[in-house]
Structure 1
Amino acid sequence: MKSILFGLLAVICTLLSCKSDEESLQRIDQIMNIYMKSDTNPDLLNSKKEGSYISYSVNDAFGTRDISPVTIPLRMTTDSLFYMEYIAGAKRIRSDSTGPDNPGTGNFYHSRMQLTLRKTVDSLVQETEGILEIQYRNTPTLFQVSKVLYDGKTVFSKNADAPNSINTVTIVK
């Protein structure tokens, strides 16, 4: 009888420990699709189009070395529009702050990367550099992209109550 009672107690404890607590999970929202366009060219990342960039490289400004490359693959939509898909790779620096972007948390994270874009002009390769900064909102229940700046100008922002999604960032050159 004791072994049956002990077995039943063990099964009950096991079932209770498997209970899922949905509220304890942190929502993570950090994927970005980065498009580049100009007034005259809707796809500056399509190397086959005249006036578009032929290649690019990304360097982590907060990296452990002067040259800390970040891999951001080039993807294409079903409409044949190219974009850079950034998931992670650059070092995130924690900063203390309070304000509407970080209500009640007192901290946020940000990454900074140097984007080097190359295109051919009159048979010569020209390089253009820009700084891409990503700011992340961090709370016990949420980690998400809150703002993206390119050369100091906001190109994307998101409210804390916005749903998780792939963040679409468009840089106009």
Structure 2
Amino acid sequence: MGIFGWSILGVVVLALVALIAMYNRLVRLRALVKEGFSGITVQLRRRADLIPNLVETVQGYATHEREVFEQVTQARAATVNPGGVAATAQADAQMTGLLGRLFAVAEAYPELKANTNFLQLQDQLASIEGELQSSRRYYNATVRDLNSSVQSFPAVLVARPLGFAEEPFYQDDDPAIQSAPKVAFPRPAA
């Protein structure tokens, strides 16, 4: 084999190594996207697990607000098992809005706002909302990285034939719901 043969073999080996590296990078990015979405669903489940206690505590004081309690309970079920990214974002947005309504009901009851159990649940919810926001940002960052790689040259030449596609960002249609509900009740004087 002459120098020309070795050169061609070298180019083929380099191309194969580059293809393997591209494939492995795309696999890693896809795994990070799945991990990011899983983080969102974990936080949504934590929030959903907190909601029955929150509803029960508020319901003990505001028994005539039955419609809000029923809506929160129904939305909780949708949040736990929503499906894909878009359905999860929609269920999340609906639950966030309903939690805002639940806290608006609680605002009308000063003795509820002073209840230790309610205050603990409120603190837990605020913590979960912060972690949920972080999970959404992480997911969207991993989606951005995957989508950039799938669309970039030379990966664009091999990504789609190898089964890699762009993933949707986590977003909802209502910009007013894209932040955590305001949960700010004044602490009782010690």
Normalising to structure 2: TM-score of the pair? 0.28
- Decide which structure has greater helix share: 2
Specify which structure has the higher proportion of strand. Answer: 1
Higher relative contact order (CA 8 A, sep 6+): 2
